[in-house]
């Protein structure tokens, strides 16, 4: 009997700190309703594909399946440069940071990972070819977001000077007078 009282007391404490999930931005970002205000939360330790990448929408759908409309709890680890809370999130008793890795819907973010068990889970998802690991060579989002050099020498428009052409998610560009000029 005493055990039941302790259990229900603990459950009430957890429910008192649970927050409704009211939005899913992508595979690693969701919005909680905290004190009747939206709070954008970035899942700690992982990085999901960008929306424009292969598996970007599937990763978002996976997080939505785990959390949309459910009560969630979170353990804050940091605030990122965009003002989002970086946290480990639980939805319906499932740690979604870990679940996204297990499902193959996100990478372990090596630069920020603090959970030493996640690389092993990613290795198993990769071995079993789950989610994004069905792709032969998936591009990590941190590389996708970084402009990449396409060609070593491209003629700049209206110029006899050779320049470097870069690629970002919006297309090919080069820099002229400190500004991006699209189209190489």
Which pLDDT tens digits describe the chain residue by residue (184 residues)?
Answer: 554 444 444 443 444 479 999 999 999 999 999 999 999 999 999 999 999 999 999 999 999 999 999 999 999 999 999 999 999 999 999 999 999 999 999 999 999 999 999 999 999 999 999 999 999 999 999 999 887 655 444 444 555 445 677 776 666 766 777 677 767 6
For residues 58 and 123, membership in a common domain is answered with yes
For residues 88 and 152, membership in a common domain is answered with no
Catalytic residue chosen out of the listed positions 42, 102, 103, 122: 42
Catalytic residue chosen out of the listed positions 84, 126, 130, 181: 84
For residues 63 and 116, membership in a common domain is answered with yes
Backbone torsions φ then ψ of 47, nearest 5 degrees: -140, 120
Question: Is the residue at 142 inside a domain?
Answer: no
For residues 31 and 122, membership in a common domain is answered with yes
Report how many domains make up the chain. 2
For residues 10 and 49, membership in a common domain is answered with yes
Q: Residue 134 and residue 105: Cα distance in Å, rounded?
A: 11
For residues 18 and 108, membership in a common domain is answered with yes
Catalytic residue chosen out of the listed positions 50, 102, 103, 122: 50
Instruction: Decide if 50 is catalytic.
Output: yes
Instruction: Decide if 179 is catalytic.
Output: no
For residues 157 and 92, membership in a common domain is answered with no
Quote the domain boundaries for residue 166.
147-182
Instruction: Decide if 137 is catalytic.
Output: no
For residues 66 and 104, membership in a common domain is answered with yes
Report how far Cα 12 is from the mean position of its chain's Cα atoms. Answer: 30
CA atoms within 13 A on the CB side of 93: 1
């Amino acid at each position: 009997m005493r055990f039941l009282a302790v259990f229900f007391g603990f459950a009430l404490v957890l429910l008192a700190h649970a927050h409704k999930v009211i939005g899913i931005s992508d595979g690693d970002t969701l919005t909680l309703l905290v004190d009747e205000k939206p709070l954008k939360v970035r899942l700690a330790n992982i990085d999901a594909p960008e929306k424009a990448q292969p598996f970007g929408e599937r990763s978002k759908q996976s997080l939505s399946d785990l959390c949309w409309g459910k009560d969630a709890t979170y353990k804050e680890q940091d605030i990122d440069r965009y003002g989002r809370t970086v946290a480990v999130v639980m939805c319906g008793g499932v740690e979604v940071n870990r679940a996204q890795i297990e499902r193959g819907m996100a990478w372990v973010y090596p630069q920020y990972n603090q959970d030493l068990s996640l690389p092993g889970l990613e290795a198993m998802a990769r071995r079993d070819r789950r989610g994004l690991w069905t792709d032969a060579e998936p591009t990590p989002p941190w590389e996708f977001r970084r402009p990449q050099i396409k060609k070593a020498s491209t003629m700049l428009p209206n110029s006899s000077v050779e320049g470097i052409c870069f690629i970002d998610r919006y297309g090919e560009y080069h820099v002229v007078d400190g500004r991006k000029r699209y189209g190489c």
